[in-house]
Amino acid sequence: MALDDGPLLLYALSACFAAGIWLVFNRYQSVKNRAVPFNWPAPDGADPQWSSIIITNPNLEAHLSNPDLLPPVHIPNRRYITCYDPATSLYLGTFLADDAFVIGEKIGMAGRAQLSWKQSSFADRKRVVRSLLKWLVDNKEACARVACRDTGKTMIDAALGEILTSCSKMDWLISHGERYLRPERRSSTLMLKYKRSELHYEPLGVVAAVVSWNYPLHNAWSPILASIFAGNGVVVKCSEKVIWSTSWFIGAIRECLSVCGFDPDLVQLVCCWPEEADALTASPHIKHITFIGSEEVGRKVAIAATTHLTPVTLELGGKDPSVVLPGTDLQKWISTWMRGIFQNSGQNCIGLERLIVHSSQHDELLEMITERTKNLRLGSALHSTDGFIAPVDCGSMVSNDRFDELERTINEAVEDGAQLTVGGTRWKHAYLEGGAYFGATVIGDVHQGMEIAQKELFAPIALLMKYDELEDAIELANGTRYGLGASVFGPDQEECLKIAKRLECGMVSVNDFAVFYLNQDLPFGGLKASGYGRFAGPEGLRSLTNPKAIVVDRWPFLFQTSIPPPLDYPIRSLANSWEFVGGLIQLIHGDTMRTRLQGIVQLIKAGRR
């Protein structure tokens, strides 16, 4: 070997050594950060072959008329909640309702667990989220079945509204969450150039989420994931209608925390009647509340939160319009509108509650939707007959509590001139007699003054309104108390965008339905009676933190703030001190060079006196 080859060999060996170190480090990081598998078996009720007691007149207090539904050992003078499948009226279980003392204990347990959790690294938090994501993908069918059993929805509705959205949330947190919570530098004025300004996003402590029943997996997981990623403990109060499923879904998160080496008490579930909820929403130990539900209950939560000035994010539903511009290809978008209207049997806060269509296309669209709606099949996604599950398009509603009100509202609209083409009443299933089914409904020629055009229906009802001029369409779209989401459809995207910008709401999809929620980098929320604040996106994640501003010296060894003699207490000369401050203001903020030079001169004169 020639002597000249020595350096080349050294370089080659050094490169191989460096590559080896990199591979070992990369392997270590991969093993350290990869998802941790864990087992959380599905409840028996998720099996389509499962059977149970059929409850006559199913309701949350069915155990009062049928004591056999109570647990074998139950506590006297304590309230219970009975859970059932609203599509089949099959009994799921009876749960002891938490009282104020138990709720306080759960807040305390979350608080104690949060003391160590807030010290966790972003790598630790990502690993927990990554483990949950893997578990959800691996167990998607079981999770969908659990959601179906407790709410009566279909498997497709569960896949779209529960699993796909939750996976999107976790993907976003893993990829972008740390970036939005890391300390960041902020700019300084000329006067503070010797300072460094930083913003730190610190955990709040224990936060709460009071969530609705329409998506028991996603509505619970979404605020939990954001809360723990921000370093908080969290207490979730789910709707009493879905305690059976929510207990299992939150149990999976607690199990994941445990196998990842963290205290599962970080996440707590409150199971209570509304009368006890103030123990959570008015607690001095709760530092933020996320509420998803009705306007009536949201107002009560907001009032309770004022006890300790607890910040609240309110998502209160809406009356989302879809503005269909003249010349739109109706055949092209009919499937999107059908999904937007009947997804989750209309029990969707961003469902399409109003189709606002040009008068020249109103009758054609009404006929198209009517024909499709007539063919929708209602039933249970988990009812098996001899091993066969009949295909269903729409599941049941979560209960029949609102059926009288829905029928009254529809009948009054028809009396006022609206055109009912199909449905309009509760629907009796041929063999699931206790199921809470409302017939898929289509109503055309609805006018702005009708009650049905103003109130949120939250039901499988397609409602068509006609307009003649675009200004009329915008007025109709903005003409309710709500302002959550909306959509605009038309052949010209730029024209659609112009309309979208004029809609009074928090989110708009152009030539699509609700895709703004699948992009978890966007904030979710509305205005007017749809609530205030945002969850999801950087705005939602940061709302679960205390943004702390910190200013430090950029060169502490060289230059630090000192009080000039003219400003030092006790003030020796008011005139001189004022001249000094005036010169400083001119120097920093003067609009011309001459003004700033005058400021310097004034500063020097005042400083010498």
Q: Which residues pair with 509 in a beta bridge?
A: 487
Amino acid at 540: G
The alpha carbons of the chain give a radius of gyration, in whole angstroms, of 30
CB 456 within 8 A of CB 482: yes
- The catalytically annotated residue of 83, 238, 260, 349 is 349
Count the neighbouring beta carbons within 10 Å of the beta carbon of residue 1: 7
> Nearest-CA neighbor of 214 among 383, 398, 337, 372?
398
Return the DSSP state at 191: G
State yes or no: is 349 an active-site residue: yes
CA dist 258 and 252 (Å) reads: 10
> Nearest-CA neighbor of 567 among 578, 554, 553, 556?
578
* 437-438/426-427 β-pairing: antiparallel
CA dist 447 and 416 (Å) reads: 9
- The catalytically annotated residue of 162, 240, 315, 579 is 315
* 545-553/195-203 β-pairing: antiparallel
Count the neighbouring beta carbons within 10 Å of the beta carbon of residue 545: 20
User: What share of residues in the chain are helix, strand, coil (percent, to 5)?
Assistant: 45, 15, 35
Helix (H) or strand (E) holding 206: strand 206-210
- The structure tokens listed for 478 are 């903005």
State yes or no: is 315 an active-site residue: yes
- Residues 6+ away with beta carbon under 8 Å from 386: none
Q: What is the 3-state secondary structure (H, E, C) of 499-516?
A: HHHCCCCCEEEECCCCHH
CA dist 279 and 273 (Å) reads: 11
Tell which phi-psi region holds residue 593, choosing left (phi > 0), alpha (psi between -120 and 50) or beta.
alpha
Tell which phi-psi region holds residue 454, choosing left (phi > 0), alpha (psi between -120 and 50) or beta.
alpha
| Strand, helix or coil for residue 201 | strand
CB 233 within 8 A of CB 267: yes
- The structure tokens listed for 208 are 């709460």
Active site residues: 315, 349
